[in-house]
């Protein structure tokens, strides 16, 4: 059996190429993780703080509906809110919201579409 140097050269080149590609992928993965991890940590910190007040957007996210639906429920009096003089945004007491929480559905879910 003869030893073929050309075949070993081709295999070595192929392995080298694979290692270089793997190294580039590893560098890209590390870069992406360096971008994502701080954002995830800030979200985690925000969730763990258990804020005193919730925004309309946060309640909409919790309920799985749009902000307009929450604003409509506020106008109807279904969701209790607090608003300082001269402020435009609603403050929804987190404690009061969770105590009186009922399922908030969009009016679109009740309509029949034919």
DSSP string, 74-88: HHHTSS--B--TT--
pTM: 0.48
Q: Which pLDDT score, from 0 to 100, does residue 105 have?
A: 58
The reply to whether 86 and 101 lie within a common domain is yes
The reply to whether 21 and 60 lie within a common domain is no
The reply to whether 67 and 87 lie within a common domain is yes
Domain that includes residue 82, residue range: 53-106
Q: Which pLDDT score, from 0 to 100, does residue 25 have?
A: 92
Task: Flag whether 32 is in a domain.
Answer: yes
- C-alpha distance from residue 32 to each of 27, 35, 40, 69 (Å): 9, 5, 12, 36
Q: Which pLDDT score, from 0 to 100, does residue 68 have?
A: 93
Q: Which residues of the chain have pLDDT under 70?
A: 1-7, 102-114
The reply to whether 45 and 73 lie within a common domain is no
The reply to whether 26 and 58 lie within a common domain is no
Q: Which pLDDT score, from 0 to 100, does residue 26 have?
A: 92
The reply to whether 24 and 62 lie within a common domain is no
CB atoms near residue 21 (< 10 Å)? 10
Q: Which pLDDT score, from 0 to 100, does residue 3 have?
A: 55
Q: Which pLDDT score, from 0 to 100, does residue 108 have?
A: 59
């Amino acid at each position: 059996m003869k030893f073929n140097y050309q075949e070993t050269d081709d295999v070595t080149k192929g392995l080298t190429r694979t290692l270089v590609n793997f190294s580039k992928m590893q560098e890209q993965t590390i870069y992406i993780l360096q971008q994502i991890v701080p954002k995830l940590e800030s979200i985690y910190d925000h969730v763990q703080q258990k804020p005193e007040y919730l925004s309309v957007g946060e309640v909409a996210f919790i309920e799985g509906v749009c902000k307009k639906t929450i604003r409509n429920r506020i106008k109807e009096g279904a969701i209790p809110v607090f608003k300082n003089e001269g402020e435009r945004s609603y403050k929804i007491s987190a404690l009061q919201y969770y105590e009186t929480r009922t399922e908030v559905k969009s009016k679109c879910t009740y309509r029949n579409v034919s």
